[in-house]
Amino acid sequence: MSRPILLRGGRVIDPSQGIDGQQDVLLADGSVEACGRGLGAPDGAEILDCAGMIVSPGFIDVHCHLREPGREDVETVATGARAAAAGGFTALCAMPNTDPVTDNQAAVGFIIRQAQRAKAARVHPIGAISLGQRGEALAEFGEMIGAGAVAVSDDGRPVVSAQLMRTALEYARTFNIPVIDHCEEPTLSHGGAMNEGIVSARLGLKGIPSEAEEIMVIRDILLARRTKGHVHLAHMSTAGSVDLIRWGKERGINVTAEVCPHHLTLTEDRVGAYDTNAKMNPPLRTAADVAALRDAVADGTIDLIATDHAPHHYDEKEQEFANAPNGIVGLETALALVHTNLVAGGVMDYARMVECMSCAPARVFHIPGGTLSRGAVADVTVFDPKAEWIVDPATFLSKGRNTPYAGERVRGRAIFTIVDGEIVHTMANTTR
């Protein structure tokens, strides 16, 4: 068994218990032993000086693409889990759009075994909704959950058939898991490369209208009302979606939603002169959308923040804009972007940040963590809110380098990432 760890003198923020104050946290035998003032260090304990740091339940990213199996050249479970740890995440959920698709228990088991070997962040697989993500026949939810999956999604592809979505929401109730949808009406978005608006019109790029997302958002909310299933809406990007989610929640419909750091910080203008690192799906939208998403994540309409970490090979992004693949890496920038833009930017306080990046992900996906209550898993994120750094993709542990934030000065950095009572990442010696 590992040595106990005493996190001494940090500002502990744990919204699950209403804690915000200078305290110590003691971890032993893979669990949180105690939280409080002036805790003594047991024999042999490792003492980590956390003065000036924020100590919180470990951050959980419920939306990542780890590319293994199939595209191990751009990311593996191990590199993704290490990138997550470096970014302050103690756990992540891996989307099933691998090759072959993670649509059966053996495939789920493979990802779990790869993650165990990596000894970094925990990896919770998400199974496919439909076999091969083809949108036709349901995958075996029960078998996949039994093997360790925590949710189902055809992410990367929308669930086109309303009937399939309805069935998935109904069938998932037995297993008490969320059905995650990538909301995109494909006939409206077909061929689109960025947000539809004046910028797409100027650049001569086919646009993706906000309605392509919103039509599916309201469809899913209505189906959740009908079925009483739990629908989780991935990477929300428009002000209209926010209104629809609010409408659904006001009526007690079982809908939860996530937003990505890039949709909270960048607009369609970032595409600039056809920068493929600003190409993602859903696309970067307008300043009004960013403002609505910020309000929504602050007031709880949007439950949580997830990265949609999507590594791509350098050559794939080095193409004509319309041909380049969608997506950016996010695991190693999310904490700093949220801290810099939303907390320091006055949109939310630390408690809300920890809620969105730790407590809510654990609660919504029914996975361990999200709290420092006694007996909880010893997953802790310690970050220095004053650490200033410049985003340099060359230093990423992810194999992906595709980020629109290269060169950006940000504030806030994970100093210790602790998973199951083990330090899986530390910056303590390099920054101080």
| Interacting residues with another protein (CB under 8 A) | 196-198, 200-207, 209, 273-274, 315, 318-323
Minimum distance from residue 323 beta carbon to another protein (Å): 7
Minimal CA–CA distance to 130: which of 122, 117, 121, 139?
139
Q: Cα separation of 427 and 341, whole Å?
A: 22
Q: Cα separation of 90 and 418, whole Å?
A: 7
Residue closer to another protein, measured from CB, 321 or 416: 321
Residue closer to another protein, measured from CB, 176 or 323: 323
Q: Cα separation of 253 and 226, whole Å?
A: 9
Structure tokens at 190: 């077909």
Q: Cα separation of 189 and 212, whole Å?
A: 6
Minimum distance from residue 317 beta carbon to another protein (Å): 11
| Cβ contacts of 370 within 8 Å, gap of 6 or more | 16, 57, 58, 60, 358, 359, 360, 361, 362, 363
Residue closer to another protein, measured from CB, 197 or 368: 197
What Rg, from alpha-carbon coordinates, does the chain have? 20
The total number of residues shown for the chain amounts to 432
Q: Are 221 and 242 in contact (CB under 8 A)?
A: no
Minimum distance from residue 201 beta carbon to another protein (Å): 4
Residue closer to another protein, measured from CB, 158 or 207: 207
Minimum distance from residue 42 beta carbon to another protein (Å): 59
Q: Are 59 and 382 in contact (CB under 8 A)?
A: no
Minimum distance from residue 211 beta carbon to another protein (Å): 11
CA 69 to chain CA centroid, Å, is: 20
Residue closer to another protein, measured from CB, 102 or 277: 277
Minimum distance from residue 393 beta carbon to another protein (Å): 18
Residue closer to another protein, measured from CB, 89 or 321: 321
Minimum distance from residue 316 beta carbon to another protein (Å): 10
Residue closer to another protein, measured from CB, 185 or 303: 185
Give the pairing type, strands 207-208 and 194-195.
parallel
Beta strands of 174-314 (E only): which ranges? 179-181, 194-195, 207-208, 231-233, 255-259, 304-305
Q: Which of 220, 289, 308, 384 is catalytic?
A: 308
Q: Are 385 and 415 in contact (CB under 8 A)?
A: no
Q: Cα separation of 221 and 153, whole Å?
A: 16
Structure tokens at 92: 């992540």
Q: Are 249 and 191 in contact (CB under 8 A)?
A: no
The reply to whether 308 belongs to the active site is yes
- Which residues are identified as catalytic? 308
